[in-house]
Amino acid sequence: MDTPIRVLVAKPGLDGHDRGAKVVAAALRDAGMEVIYTGLHQTPEMIAGAAVQEDVDVVGLSILSGAHMTLFPRVRELLAEQGRDDILLTGGGIMPKEDMERLAATGVGRLFGPGTPTSELIAYIREWYAERQAKDA
């Protein structure tokens, strides 16, 4: 039996709007993934620590606060410091396209804006995971 894809969904910073994160977490769970939802007001250190402790494949950040240019790179840096730069860092929220492109250039995975169907995120994670599994085989 295949091991399910393990995903940590996190809400970093002071943003208190978690409806989207909960919708995404439920959709990923319904798609057969194991989902850990950290809840609100997580620091990058808490998120990276939980990702390593839970041995996840993917970290998804939900950011609506405008702090994405700080939070994504910090989580990426902390994961790398702990030897886990193999974890896909993806997410969503309100971000200008230029910022999404700049983050992608730093190793952040695809980012999703408001209104994106959850099926797109699910397909993206599954494709990424399949490619990683093929490389590790």
Between CA 127 and CA 11 the distance in angstroms is: 24
Contact 28, 62 (CB under 8 A): no
Q: Is residue 1 part of a domain?
A: no
Six token digits for residue 133:
């599994």
pTM: 0.96
Whether residue 1 has pLDDT greater than 70: no
Sheet holding 88-93, edge to edge: 34-37, 6-10, 58-63, 88-93, 111-112
Average pLDDT of the chain is 95
pLDDT in tens, 80-114: 999 999 999 999 999 999 999 999 999 999 999 99
**pLDDT range class, residue 51, cuts 50, 70, 90:** very high
Q: Is residue 65 part of a domain?
A: yes
- The percentage of the chain sitting over the pLDDT mark of 70, rounded to a whole number, equals 99
Its domain, for residue 34, covers 6-136
Between CA 108 and CA 66 the distance in angstroms is: 16
Q: What is the CATH number of the domain that holds 45?
A: 3.40.50.280
pLDDT in tens, 126-137: 999 999 999 887
As for how many domains the chain has, the answer is: 1
pLDDT of residue 17: 86
Look up residue 109 and give its DSSP letter.
Answer: -
Task: Identify the CA nearest to 48 among candidates 89, 100, 20, 108.
Answer: 89
pLDDT of residue 15: 82
pLDDT in tens, 25-36: 999 999 999 999
Instruction: List all residues 6 or more positions away from 71 whose beta carbon is below 8 Å from its beta carbon.
Output: 12, 13, 44, 61, 63
Instruction: List all residues 6 or more positions away from 86 whose beta carbon is below 8 Å from its beta carbon.
Output: 132
